[in-house]
Amino acid sequence: MSGHFGSTFPGYTWVYDCGSKRSSHLKTIVNNMAVTFPKSWKSHIDMLAISHFDDDHTNGLEELLSKHTVGRLTIPYASFERRLATALSLDGEKLLSRDTALFALDPVTYLVSKGLGERVQEIVLVTGNADSEDDGLDEFFPSDQRGPETEEGFVWREIPASENESENFASGDGYNILGRAANLQVSTTSHDSPFVPNGYSWEFFFFNSAPSTCAARSSAKIKAAIADAKDVIREMALLGGTRAIKPKWRDKLKKVYIRHFGHSSKSRNNISLCVLSAPTKRVIVESCAAFDRGHSLGYVSPNPIKKGLLLCGDLTIDSSMLRCMERHFTPQRWGDIDVMQIPHHGSKNSWELGNMALCAHRHSVLCVPDSSSMHPHKTVLNDLKGSHTHRADYKNFVQETFHFNI
């Protein structure tokens, strides 16, 4: 999903997730972005947000960055233990591709290995709530090093460009394992503060559903695990290049996980960075015009009050999660949501029956492959009958237009 706002040059362009089960379709979308956005657009994406690390949400990243630059790559923060479990698909989900696994494990090293480190200005890691009073986060992001909160709401902490990995943030929690990204800034921010781009009446309010860490771990244990993982990355040639990637690299990394963290792992399913995107001033909204190959299928009646767009990735949502999200975003913002992307293509495993009764949005968007018989599931569609449903697939897209009252 993508968006653009701003009445003056160059405006603000943002993208949420970048992946597809069809590589040819993905290339077409990336190549046609210049047509989608205003003529003044200069192939620069101000913010790219990745919800989670599945192939169909990230496998277009290399293609996108080869064509366009990104100011802020925003991803959910997760501990090294959790990222390693995700890269290895220890939750029993289908195996990730090598590129997605490496991106999940260490996004900085992945970008540099692909020659894309200069295409991104900074990576912002959005932290969620801790799952215990001692979540271990201060060990890697000490409060006195996080920096002051800015007017935009971000709390910055830049990675030192140091070769001594044991002393910097990179080794602290396994971002930039190989220490090659001297020019790529990495910072953290809590999801508790909305981000308002300078000069625009718009906000992005993130929600990281995952706790900050799997469990409190000593820094010595984390550093030992990172050191072993780094050895495997080099030994198995996971960064590609002139050396062929060796088989059974997953087995090698899995031994690292078991050696340091044991046999159990927590699921990656609910590591999903949601975002509530909305103007901060009163607008008239032409809600959810659905298009078939560019031909409008008609507007639903404009709504001058509701204006929020909630994107949920593949988050598993039940009644307790919805109540948590409402508290997080605040009841006022929650009641102001007009359009909600229903998670995981409308899977019955990601949407609890009765959820719609707890939602205030008028329009539900389902992003589904046109060949799927299970997505969206009929029980999900039945629950969504209280809203207008719109389907985005390989042939159709959904667009929402805002008119600002100046």
> Are both 335 and 186 inside the same structural domain?
no
Q: Which two tokens stand for residue 111?
A: 């970008």
Is the CB of residue 307 less than 8 Å from the CB of residue 402?
A: yes
| Per-residue confidence (pLDDT) for residue 296, from 0 to 100 | 56
Q: Are 380 and 346 in contact (CB under 8 A)?
A: yes
pLDDT of residue 205: 96
- Among 261, 296, 311, the domain-final residue is 261
Single pTM value for the model:
0.83
Residues of 121-141 as b/e, b for ≥16 C-beta within 10 angstroms? ebbbbbbbbeeeeebbbebbb
Per-residue pLDDT of 65-91, as tens digits, reads: 998 999 999 999 988 888 888 888 876
Q: Going by C-beta distance under 8 Å and a sequence separation of 6 or more, which residues neighbour residue 298?
A: 289, 290
DSSP 8-state code for residue 40:
T
Is 250 in the same domain as 388?
no
User: For residue 109, which of 249, 255, 245, 233 has the smallest C-alpha distance?
Assistant: 233
Low-confidence ranges of the chain (pLDDT < 50): 131-171, 212-216, 267-269, 406
Collect all residues with Cβ–Cβ distance below 8 Å to 262 and sequence separation of at least 6. Answer: none
pLDDT at site 167: 31
**Where in the sequence is the domain holding 363, given as residue range(s)?**
281-404
Confirm whether 269 is domain-assigned.
no
**244/285 same-domain check:** no
Tokens 């943002």 — which residue? Answer: 14
- Domain contains 272: no
**pLDDT at position 61:** 93
Residues 58, 185: one domain? yes
Q: Which of 261, 294, 326 is the last residue of a domain?
A: 261
Q: Which domain-ending residue is among 215, 231, 261? A: 261
Q: Mark whether 288 and 255 lie in a shared domain.
A: no
Read out DSSP for 219-243? HHHHHHHHHHHHHHHHHTTTT-TTS
Q: Is residue 270 part of a domain?
A: no
Residue 162's nearest CA partner among 153, 154, 171 is 171
45/42 Cα distance (integer angstroms): 9
275 falls within a domain: no
The domain tally of the chain equals 2
Q: Please check whether residue 267 lies inside any domain of the structure.
A: no
